């Protein structure tokens, strides 16, 4: 533990998804598509007698992070920093879980491969009920398409070969656990249709259009989100809602052109360990 590696895990916005439950959390998850963001979570860990998690200088509890540490059989002081809004559809819990897995493995001279650590973090996140597809998307980077649910080797993935500036504004959170723990039949049907439509024409414009259709059909749009998307569309831009938060994301300068003061980032390359 002499050296002090940290991990950077990108934020992940899901545009649309369907839920797939399985008794084995490594095989459960979601199908769908999203964007990974250069705004993300940086995680460092120190071994400690008792596990604590400090996110942006505040002591918090995250079941997914605790699940990762349990699975790795260690207790640690985990420090996470992010510019992303929390509980607003950016996958902060998934990023914290994956960042913890990668960093603990590095500081303990661990002997797990990337696939093993991704699947371990994915399973912890699924069991915590806080996400179904963020961890695998964040591990992959780019514009991840989740073809089959679960962590590797169960899940199967593809992506869109594009990069873009991304803008976002967030008005607050939605309760992921309540939504993905409730009746997801309508949502999942809409998500399957969106995925089929994207695979038929795998472009960023199609991704945005199908994300909007999903948000509407799944009944998740709030008034503020709907108005903001409408504003961006009226200004000639492309925007949709981040699943699951009261958050609007747009391609390029979509939100600024429409008069908003958004956070600005770009599509990212994926989670990585960084030696200090």
Sites of contact with its own copies (CB under 8 A): 102, 105-106, 109, 111-115, 117, 141-142, 145, 152-153, 156, 158-164, 199, 201-203, 269-270, 272-275
Which run of H or of E encompasses 145? strand 143-148
Residue with Cβ nearer its own copies (185 or 199): 199
Residue with Cβ nearer its own copies (172 or 269): 269
- What is the nearest approach in angstroms of its own copies to the Cβ of residue 274? 6
Residue with Cβ nearer its own copies (34 or 142): 142
Hey, is 81 helix, strand or coil? Answer: strand
Q: Cα(270)–Cα(155) distance, rounded to whole angstroms?
A: 17
Please, where are the H alpha helices in 129-175? Answer: 134-140
Residue with Cβ nearer its own copies (74 or 179): 74
Contacts of 198 (CB under 8 A, 6+ apart): 33, 145, 206, 207, 210
- What is the nearest approach in angstroms of its own copies to the Cβ of residue 109? 7
- What is the nearest approach in angstroms of its own copies to the Cβ of residue 157? 8
- What is the nearest approach in angstroms of its own copies to the Cβ of residue 147? 9
Residue with Cβ nearer its own copies (69 or 241): 69
Crossing angle between the packed helical segments 185-200 and 204-217, to the nearest 10 degrees: 160
- What is the nearest approach in angstroms of its own copies to the Cβ of residue 114? 4
Instruction: Number of helices (H) and strands (E) in the chain: give both, helices first.
Output: 9, 12
Q: Do the Cβ atoms of 100 and 71 come closer than 8 Å?
A: no
- What is the nearest approach in angstroms of its own copies to the Cβ of residue 264? 15
Residue with Cβ nearer its own copies (156 or 216): 156
- The separation between CA 135 and the C-alpha centre of its own chain, rounded to angstroms, equals 6
In angstroms, the first-to-last Cα distance of the chain is 12
Beta-bridge partner residues of 8: 42, 272
Q: Do the Cβ atoms of 179 and 222 come closer than 8 Å?
A: no
- What is the nearest approach in angstroms of its own copies to the Cβ of residue 111? 6
Residue with Cβ nearer its own copies (24 or 113): 113
């Amino acid at each position: 533990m002499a050296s002090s590696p940290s991990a950077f895990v990108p934020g992940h916005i899901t545009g649309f998804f369907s839920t797939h439950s399985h008794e084995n959390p490594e095989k459960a998850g979601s199908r769908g598509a999203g964007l990974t963001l250069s705004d993300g979570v940086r995680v460092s860990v120190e071994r400690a007698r008792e596990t604590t998690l400090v996110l942006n200088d505040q002591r918090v509890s995250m079941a997914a992070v605790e699940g990762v540490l349990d699975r790795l059989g260690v207790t640690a002081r985990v420090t996470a920093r992010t510019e992303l809004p929390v509980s607003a559809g950016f996958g902060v819990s998934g990023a914290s879980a994956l960042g913890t897995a990668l960093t603990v493995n590095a500081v303990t001279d661990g002997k797990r491969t990337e696939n093993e650590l991704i699947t371990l973090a994915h399973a912890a996140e699924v069991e915590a009920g806080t996400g179904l597809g963020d961890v695998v998307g964040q591990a992959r980077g780019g514009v991840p398409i989740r073809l089959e649910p679960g962590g590797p080797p169960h899940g199967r993935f593809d992506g869109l070969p594009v990069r873009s500036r991304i803008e976002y504004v967030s008005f607050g959170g939605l309760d992921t656990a309540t939504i993905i723990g409730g009746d997801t039949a309508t949502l999942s049907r809409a998500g399957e249709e969106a995925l089929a439509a994207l695979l038929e024409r795998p472009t960023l414009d199609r991704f945005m259009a199908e994300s909007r259709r999903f948000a509407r059909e799944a009944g998740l749009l709030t008034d503020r989100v709907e108005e903001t998307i409408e504003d961006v569309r009226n200004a000639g831009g492309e925007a949709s809602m981040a699943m699951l938060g009261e958050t609007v994301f747009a391609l390029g300068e979509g939100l600024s052109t429409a008069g908003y003061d958004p956070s600005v980032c770009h599509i990212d390359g994926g989670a990585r360990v960084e030696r200090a």
